Amino acid sequence: MEKWSLMTITVLLALTVRWTVSLGSYSGAGKPPMYGDYEAQRHWQEVTYNLPIRQWYFNTSDNNLLYWGLDYPPLTAYHSFVCAYIAKLINPDWIALHTSRGYESQPHKLFMRTTVFVADLLVYIPAVIVYCFSLKETSTKKKVSSALCILLYPGLILIDHGHFQYNSVSLGLALWGVLYLSYDWDLLGSAAFCLALNYKQMELYHSLPFFCYLLGKCFKKGLKGKGLVLLTKIAGTVVVSFAVCWLPFCTDMEQIMQVLRRLFPIDRGLFEDKVANIWCSLSVLIKIKNIVSPQTQLKLSFAVTFLSLLPTCIKLTVQPSLRGFKFALVSCALSFFLFSFQVHEKSILLVSIPVCLIINEIPFMATWFLLVSTFSMLPLLLKDGLLLAYAVTTLAFLSVCAASFSIFEKTSAEDLQLKPFSLSLKGYVSWFKSFPKIVRCLFLLSVTLMGVLSLMSAAVHPPQRLPDLFPLSVSVISCLHFLLFLVYFNVVILWDSKNSRSQRKIS
Amino acid sequence: TPPHKHLGITSEWTLDYPPFFAWFECALSHVAKYFDPKMLVIENLNYTSRATILFQRFSVIFTDILFVYAVRECCRCVNGKRAAKDVLEKPTFILAVLLLWNFGLLIVDHIHFQYNGFLFGLMLLSVARLCQKRYLEGALLFAVLLHFKHIYIYVAPAYGIYLLRSYCFTANNADGSLKWRSFSVLHVTLLGLIVCLVSALSLGPFIVLGQLPQVISRLFPFKRGLCHAYWAPNFWALYNAMDKALTIFGLKCNFLDPTKIPKASMTGGLVQEFQHTVLPCVTPLATLICTFISILPSVFCLWFKPQGPRGFLQCLVLCALSSFMFGWHVHEKAILLAILPLSLLSVQRAKDAGIYLLLTTIGHFSLFPLLFTPPELPIKILLMLLFTVYSFSSLNSLFR
């Protein structure tokens, strides 16, 4: 069948799954007084439409920052404004100042779900399609399979169309940035990534790989000639993009400072709730929050984060390659997720999307990671009443990946891109003979464990003395998985060299 | 309790399917009490709870296993002329997708809510058995199916004539015409025995209790009117529309007396009897005669020039379509009776594929009014597009 019909079918399938999940419950449904993320988005539409720009980020009598104050950069605010404009045309009650708090109705839910759907359709899905078509050295069938697997990734669907957020916009823009960079259109790529950054500040997780890759490219071109020109052009593009987004706020230094204070709530503490993070997992054994002061916590987390991603970044700057760039996106974002400050469980999406980009290179490990990342968000999904959607989409994703990439046959060291690493460990060659089987067993064990824990979280009541047993177990197990993945990705990057790639081409 | 089911007139949703379906629902109710006992109380009309919905949906999904098995059997009967390397281009794969992802079946069964999946499974299984020359099994399955849902009587002529011609007369002359001498009394007796046994099993308890007339009147409610609440897109819909148009024209030109015409008699969305104002009234007998005349050509072909299973399938589709066009009180879902068997033919010949694409696209579109709430709008559009794009591109690539 022709590739366009196959891709159309893939997109239609993805859209159907998204809309079906939309029919389910959302965050904070029917839970006054604070409700959830859904109400937050509705409130931002109310604030941005009714109040002047100067008041959006400030605590005024009309804008109570304690009730879901804006804490994303300006582009989110502009997007909310556009949505509010449309909402006003349909039913002004939805965004009436003060009186529309906690507004819940079927037509309004339909409207909100449509805004997410349209944003997804306009930004994220085209990026995925163009990305898959631009993959080199892959057959049409593999390209379409990659697109299908990426678009069916349960995590993004459940968070965006279930819990209710607009992650697909920022992730889509970042994906466009990666796409442009792969075509060597560096300025467009930088601009796209700046837009992504100005939509959600969490994209900072991806900023280091972008920076190091572009810097490395400039170095390669020679800092005395073309390299310097490129560097200044990129710097100029970044400044202009930021200026355009922040224009209304540039009138006053206090405005900029207030926005920054809302974006980076430093006084909030090392972690909140249960996250598959090192700090949260360690707190089971040692109560870090009690031992160390907040300032030291901040410095500690920054130090550990940067130490863990330093090797990858140095390698990327010295040897900028597109493959290294994509892997670096994964490992840097994962380092940030594991060791950084005030991490939310939804931030795992910032790691998952780069992993989706390399799904056709390491299908087995990518599928495994994506399954764990969805599982790590289980407590959040259970709170939102999305158990059925979670179960169905995860099973569908696993089946589609298993069928498209035949992952269970491709578990050798070479398939996992570990050949160069195994060659270095000459002493352990005999152990590597049964490597595929060991890996397969570990995978099955992991999936069974996740399945059992999911079932227990949903069906069984936790014992009285340990009410948080299941969310904590989910977080700790996910964290352990993520640590192993971090080591794996770092190994692949650091042992990857130009020789190994040319060897693959010859064979 | 079983025998009294047909007498209950407690609500507008009383049982109007044959006895086997009633037993099926009875079996379901025994499982249902583990999910939510309150849904089994007779007075609880329009009772919904999360557990009820979950149970109902899962029961449809579970019974669809039979449909999946039937599709597998049908795929085994299909032999593609070209051996395709790519699994996506194999006729068996395309047939499986066209049947399992059939938009009409998905919409009607899993959203609108019915149990057509497993009933069509029975029908496709009987067709597969007939294609595999296991005639008795096919006949048995069809007899059972008739007693599950009597709408399948639309295609009974095709079955009857085919079994008579190809099974009871065991051989043909050299030129393909009928060899009267080869009539096998054994085969006829076996067939008769099967039909009688199944009927006895299903209707037996009601005959003993003397409730047979009541059962018949529930199964064939001729008081319900020529057209269903939402008109099925058949000939009588055109007839009604013509009648309405003539009425309006007549009123405008003062040929008719306004006081004698009832208001919104047929388009009111209610199930009731009514009269046509300008054109002659249509009686159930008239519809029967029309249907009979329209199936005559295909039945004759099946009798005089049998072409094996393919001829049978063609006759089956035509019987279903004719009954749909001229039947009394036809539901729009009945179009699936024609679409699903035609899928089997569509992967074997290019001409059939062309007809199939036309019928299936229009037929599926005609099912749109079944889902009318705003949240379901994107779903039906997306699923329809999905199926249409797939059917067009896959059949196109098959017969390029």
Determine whether the interchain pair B389/A8 forms a contact, defined as Cβ–Cβ distance below 8 Å. yes
CA distance A11 to chain B (A): 9
Q: Searching chain B, which residue's CA lies closest to the CA of residue A9?
A: B386
In three-state form (DSSP H/G/I as H, E/B as E, the rest C), the secondary structure along B112-157 is: HHCCHHHHHHHHHHHHHHHHCCCHHHHHHHHHHHHCCCHHHHHHHH
Q: How many CB atoms lie within 10 A of CB A391?
A: 16
Determine whether the interchain pair A23/B378 forms a contact, defined as Cβ–Cβ distance below 8 Å. no
- pLDDT value at position A337? 92
d(CA A204, CA A197): 7
Determine whether the interchain pair A1/B397 forms a contact, defined as Cβ–Cβ distance below 8 Å. yes
If one compares B85 and A39, the residue with the highest pLDDT of the two is A39
What are the angstrom distances between the C-alpha of B18 and each of A130, B143, B147, B219, B316?
Answer: 55, 12, 5, 7, 22
In chain B, domain spans = 18-226+282-399
Q: Is the pLDDT of residue A82 over 90?
A: yes
Q: Searching chain B, which residue's CA lies closest to the CA of residue A106?
A: B375
**Residues on chain B touching A15 (C-beta within 8 angstroms):** 378, 382
- pLDDT value at position A284? 76
Q: Searching chain A, which residue's CA lies closest to the CA of residue B385?
A: A12
Q: What is the mean pLDDT of residues A95-101?
A: 84
Q: Mind giving me the DSSP string for A94-144?
A: GG-TTTTTT---HHHHHHHHHHHHHHIIIIIHHHHHHHHHT-SS--HHHHH
If one compares B224 and A51, the residue with the highest pLDDT of the two is A51
B386 touches chain A (CB under 8 A): yes
Could you report the per-residue pLDDT of A236-275, keeping only the tens digit for each?
A: 999 999 999 998 888 888 888 888 888 887 766 667 677 8
Determine whether the interchain pair B382/A15 forms a contact, defined as Cβ–Cβ distance below 8 Å. yes
Cβ-based contacts under 8 A for chains A and B? 40
Q: Is the pLDDT of residue A429 over 80?
A: no
Q: Which residues of chain B have pLDDT under 70?
A: 1-14, 38-48, 80-84, 174-176, 223-224, 229-230, 256-275
Determine whether the interchain pair B390/A9 forms a contact, defined as Cβ–Cβ distance below 8 Å. yes
**Residues on chain B touching A12 (C-beta within 8 angstroms):** 382, 385-386, 389
Q: Provide φ and ψ at B330, rounded to 5°.
A: -85, 140
d(CA B123, CA B140): 11
A111 touches chain B (CB under 8 A): no
- pLDDT value at position A507? 38
Determine whether the interchain pair B386/A12 forms a contact, defined as Cβ–Cβ distance below 8 Å. yes
A5 touches chain B (CB under 8 A): yes
Residues in chain B: 400
Could you report the per-residue pLDDT of A283-302, keeping only the tens digit for each?
A: 777 776 677 777 788 888 88
Structure tokens at A365: 């490990």
Determine whether the interchain pair A5/B393 forms a contact, defined as Cβ–Cβ distance below 8 Å. yes
Q: Searching chain A, which residue's CA lies closest to the CA of residue B84?
A: A1
When computed from its CA atoms, the radius of gyration of chain B, rounded to whole angstroms, is 23
User: To the nearest whole number, what is the mean pLDDT of chain A?
Assistant: 87
B239 touches chain A (CB under 8 A): no
Determine whether the interchain pair A12/B382 forms a contact, defined as Cβ–Cβ distance below 8 Å. yes
d(CA B282, CA B225): 10
- pLDDT value at position A499? 46
Task: Please give the angle made by the CA atoms of A190, A196 and A197, to the nearest 5 degrees.
Answer: 85
Could you report the per-residue pLDDT of A366-411, keeping only the tens digit for each?
A: 999 999 999 999 999 998 889 999 999 999 999 999 988 887 877 7
Could you report the per-residue pLDDT of A297-354, keeping only the tens digit for each?
A: 888 888 888 988 899 999 999 888 899 999 999 999 999 999 888 888 899 999 999 9
d(CA B350, CA B78): 14
- pLDDT value at position A29? 81
d(CA B132, CA A466): 62
CA distance B317 to chain A (A): 28
B383 touches chain A (CB under 8 A): yes
Q: Searching chain A, which residue's CA lies closest to the CA of residue B54?
A: A388
- pLDDT value at position A71? 87
pTM for this prediction: 0.89
- pLDDT value at position B273? 54
- pLDDT value at position B378? 92
Banded pLDDT at A203 (limits 50, 70, 90) = very high
- pLDDT value at position B47? 64
Q: Residue B351: exposed, middle, or buried by beta-carbon count in 10 A (0-12, 13-18, 19+)?
A: exposed
Q: Is the pLDDT of residue A502 over 60?
A: no
A107 touches chain B (CB under 8 A): yes
B207 touches chain A (CB under 8 A): no
Q: Searching chain A, which residue's CA lies closest to the CA of residue B381?
A: A16
